[in-house]
Amino acid sequence: MTRPEIPSRQTLSRRTRTAAAIGLGAAGLLAPVLSEFRVRRAARPLTGRWERQPVLPRRQTKLGLSFRPLQAESLGLDPDETLRTLVEYPFEVIRLAAYWDRLVLATGKYRTDELDRQLDIAEGAGKRIILSLGPVKNFGYPEFFVPPHHLLTPLPEGELVAPTHPLLRTSIDYLVHLVERYKNRPAIMAWQVEHEATDPLGMEHSWRLSAGFVQQEVAAVRAADPTRPVLMNGFLPTSTLVNAQQWWRTRDQGDSLDAAMRFADIVGIDFYPRHALVNVRGRTLYLEGANRPWQQSRRRKLLEWAAENGRQLMITEGQAEPWETVTVPPNPRSHGMYSCLPENIIGNYNHCIRWNQGLRPGLSAYLFWGAEYWLLRQHNGDPTYLRAFSKILEQA
């Protein structure tokens, strides 16, 4: 009978050291990822911290916001009155959206009275306007606004929507119609084409617009109005987990920031440094990694690329409302949500304005995201979100 071989002490020692090295290596790789997680109670008592927070000078960066009539409605606010209230504040730029399914009836007739009113209100207040045309994707939930009569079968999940898809022809007709209708309004400073154009539509859908599809849309807008720049925006991941997911889901043609760098005159960054993942028994798991050194690489490359190529770079969505585990941000009385407290409005602004240091021309604009929520808070007795915004306008 053969005796089993017993490892020598030297062999055991080598194996132990190898296992320890592997364990340490794995821990070293996981440590940065784990450091971006936070477990917190979502609703927190409001403080006066925002009042003590300094505001960095914006220098050449214009300030503004995005207006979402659908979000105003979901919060129980009147959209037109909400917009009239917001434009009284002394910011410079406002981004409005042309929602395809709200503008075109099944008969093919255009119904533009709502958008016309919004443009009139913003123009009357002296604002410069970025008009986001869509058409397939536009900002504000659910971010998909194709009229049902233009899409008789759903877009194929897991696939790229190619330029050969019949949706492209109707999309271009719509884009050209809108540009022709509104290009004589001098307050419009830029056209936005699509929203996070080549990324998947959240977690609800896995189809994506192909780069070729979007490229033809941009070309049609430029041909209809060669005098104005085209803006395209993209989501800038601020955590390792989201960065890995975004890379994996867009690895074949790049993400929306890549598409914007290829096709647009102005590249817009959507910046959300803190957001919720899941809520369990009163505690919420958040991702928060924007301040980590390893998250700075792509931002630096974008800034350097813009400076070298003479392109404009702006923040199209600077987080200024909570991003929790529900679509409509919660509104707890006398409390704020951890994903965006009033002081975070100032903190997120300061974080991005620091990008201007050492690079020219820097950010051309910073648009706050969440203005409708601020008014809801004020209606319910909490003016601190609006006051934090006002503080930036006064001191920047």
Inside any domain, residue 32: no
Inside any domain, residue 225: yes
pLDDT of residue 4: 43
Inside any domain, residue 41: no
pLDDT of residue 21: 43
Inside any domain, residue 53: yes
Q: How far apart are CA 303 and CA 356, in angstroms?
A: 9
Q: How far apart are CA 92 and CA 364, in angstroms?
A: 12
The rounded average pLDDT for each run of 10 residues, N- to C-terminus, in the chain (396 residues) is: 48 49 48 88 96 96 98 98 98 98 93 98 98 98 95 94 97 98 98 98 91 98 98 96 94 98 98 96 92 83 91 97 96 96 98 87 95 98 98 98
**Residues for the chain: how many in total?**
396
Q: Contact at 8 Å (CB) between 344 and 384? A: no
pLDDT of residue 49: 97
Given the DSSP bridges, would you call strands 266-271 and 312-319 parallel, antiparallel or unpaired?
A: parallel
Given the DSSP bridges, would you call strands 363-369 and 62-66 parallel, antiparallel or unpaired?
A: parallel
Inside any domain, residue 18: no
pLDDT of residue 55: 98
Q: Which domain holds residue 272?
A: 47-395
Number of domains in the chain: 1
The reported pTM is: 0.92
User: Among candidates 50, 67, 114, 63, which has minimal Cα distance to 372?
Assistant: 67
Which residues neighbour 226 within 8 Å (Cβ) at sequence distance 6 or greater? none
pLDDT of residue 358: 67
Which CATH number characterizes residue 193's domain? 3.20.20.80
How far from chain centre, in Å, is Cα 162? Answer: 24
Inside any domain, residue 40: no
Q: How far apart are CA 393 and CA 138, in angstroms?
A: 27
pLDDT of residue 29: 55
Inside any domain, residue 242: yes
Q: Contact at 8 Å (CB) between 272 and 324? A: no
Sign of CA dihedral 52, 274, 370, 119: positive
Inside any domain, residue 111: yes
pLDDT of residue 2: 43
User: Among candidates 190, 377, 375, which has minimal Cα distance to 266?
Assistant: 190
